[in-house]
């Protein structure tokens, strides 16, 4: 059963949350006594200060003339399962994104529904650990709007992104992020790249863009977003396919 979320409830809800979070950080960093208290603490090392404050910052956005002429594909370029092929054959009309787990109102959203919600557009650089980068223009729905619509529980600490493809022989591809990235204004579920519907090679019909992190966090072929308290029960327990099988860092900040 799908639940209708209106444009208005989503906009007001998430708008307030994102603005609130950023305003909060700003106040903290401007308040000199709070700052001194924090940074004089013995265990508060320089790296912690940097990474903590940097988590809310925006990733760099580029100009349209800087967009790469070709955005290559990496990892899975087609899930090639019977289920996925059936979804692709009718233009993803029967595809649904499920948002469930620790939410008050589990959602089941069609592509048409996502298209009808407010969008964000951003031109960002994608950096893959395998040694290539590409600049692309993404369009999609801010994840925060959907979390508001679903009524995310305060117990939720992570979001797990379940994909339609196998990452390899050891299991399905999946990824996860924490709540700082979940509510970050540039974290979107993208359905278009460079003003065209997402191609199969780049994750059709929907993929995550979490712009402060490396390429392998940008889960393609999204089927389900699950809100959880802990990652330990999910597949190998390290929060992502590559984290489980190859020891990649869970937090892949750029
Ligand atoms: N579902 C899924 N998502 C994935 C992958 C994958 O194999 N399967 N590969 C990751 C890696 S390593 C990179 S660099 C990017 C590549 O995105 P692109 O194919 O659009 O270039 O997707 C990431 N997301
Ligand atoms: Mo990658």
- Kindly list the protein residues that place their beta carbon closer than 5 angstroms to ligand 2, a single-atom ion: 74, 128, 215-216
Q: Is the whole model's pTM more than 0.85, yes or no?
A: no
User: How much is the pLDDT for 87?
Assistant: 98
- Check pLDDT > 60 for residue 211: yes
- Residue 247: pLDDT band with limits 50, 70, 90: very high
Claim to verify: residue 120 and residue 209 sit in the same structural domain:
yes
- Check pLDDT > 50 for residue 117: yes
The finding on whether 72 has its CB within 6 A of some atom of ligand 1 is yes
The CB density around residue 104, as the number of other CB atoms within 10 Å, is 9
The finding on whether 165 has its CB within 6 A of some atom of ligand 1 is yes
For residue 253, being part of any structural domain is answered with no
Claim to verify: residue 100 and residue 23 sit in the same structural domain:
no
* Closest-CA residue to 56 (of 219, 185, 148, 216): 185
Whether residue 205 is preceded by a cis peptide bond, meaning omega within 30 degrees of 0, is yes
Between 54 and 193, residue with greater pLDDT: 193
For residue 2, being part of any structural domain is answered with no
User: How much is the pLDDT for 121?
Assistant: 98
Q: Ligand 1 atom 8: the closest Cα is on which residue?
A: 76
State the average pLDDT for the chain: 87
- Check pLDDT > 50 for residue 24: no
Between 1 and 77, residue with greater pLDDT: 77
User: How much is the pLDDT for 34?
Assistant: 53
- Number of structural domains the chain divides into: 2
Question: Which ligand lies nearest to the CA atom of residue 171 in the structure?
Answer: 1
- Check pLDDT > 60 for residue 86: yes
- Check pLDDT > 70 for residue 147: yes
Token pair for residue 233? 């029960």
Report the range of poorest mean pLDDT among 12-21, 90-99, 138-147, 199-208. Answer: 12-21
Claim to verify: residue 37 and residue 95 sit in the same structural domain:
no
- DSSP for the chain, please give it: ------HHHHHHHHHHHHHHHHHHHHHHHH-HHHHHHHHHSTT--HHHHHHHHHTTSPPP---GGGS-S-----S-S----HHHHHHHHTTTTT--EEEEESBSS-EEE-HHHHHHS--EEEEEEEEETTTEEEEEEEEEEEHHHHHHHHTB-TT--EEEEEEEEEEETTEEEEEEEEHHHHS-TT-EEEEEETTEEPPGGGTTT-EEE-TTB-GGGS--SEEEEEEES-STTSTTSSSSHHHHHH---SS-B-
222 Cα nearest atom in ligand 1: 1
- Residue 41: pLDDT band with limits 50, 70, 90: low
Under 8 Å CB-to-CB from 90, ≥6 apart: which residues? none
- Give the Å distance between the CA of 202 and the centre of ligand 1: 7
Q: What is the dihedral of CA 84, 176, 132, 190, to 10 degrees?
A: 60
Claim to verify: residue 151 and residue 229 sit in the same structural domain:
yes
Claim to verify: residue 192 and residue 213 sit in the same structural domain:
yes
Claim to verify: residue 83 and residue 200 sit in the same structural domain:
yes
Domain that holds residue 136: 64-246
Question: Which ligand lies nearest to the CA atom of residue 129 in the structure?
Answer: 2
**Average pLDDT of 157-174?**
97
For residue 191, being part of any structural domain is answered with yes
């Amino acid at each position: 059963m799908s639940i209708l979320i209106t444009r208005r409830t989503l906009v007001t809800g998430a708008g307030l949350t994102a603005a609130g979070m950023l305003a909060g950080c700003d106040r903290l960093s401007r308040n000199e006594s709070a700052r001194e208290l924090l940074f004089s603490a013995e265990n508060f090392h320089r790296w912690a200060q940097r990474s903590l404050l940097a988590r809310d910052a925006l990733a760099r956005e580029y100009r349209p003339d800087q967009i790469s002429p070709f955005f290559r594909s990496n990892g899975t370029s087609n899930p090639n399962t019977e289920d996925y092929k059936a979804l692709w054959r009718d233009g993803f009309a029967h595809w649904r994104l499920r948002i469930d787990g620790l939410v008050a109102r589990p959602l089941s959203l069609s592509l048409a529904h996502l298209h009808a919600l407010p969008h964000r557009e951003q031109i960002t650089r994608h950096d893959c650990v395998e040694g290539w980068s590409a600049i692309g223009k993404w369009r999609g729905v801010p994840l925060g709007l959907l979390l508001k619509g679903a009524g995310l529980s305060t117990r939720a600490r992570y979001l797990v992104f379940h994909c339609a493809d196998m990452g390899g022989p050891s299991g399905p591809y999946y990824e996860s992020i924490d709540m700082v990235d979940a509510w970050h204004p540039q974290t979107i579920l993208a359905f278009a790249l460079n003003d065209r519907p997402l191609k199969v090679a780049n994750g059709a019909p929907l993929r995550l863009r979490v712009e402060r992190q490396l390429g392998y966090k940008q889960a393609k072929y999204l089927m389900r977003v699950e809100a959880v308290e802990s990652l330990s029960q999910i597949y190998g327990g390290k929060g992502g396919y590559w984290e489980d099988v190859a020891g990649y860092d869970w937090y892949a900040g750029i």
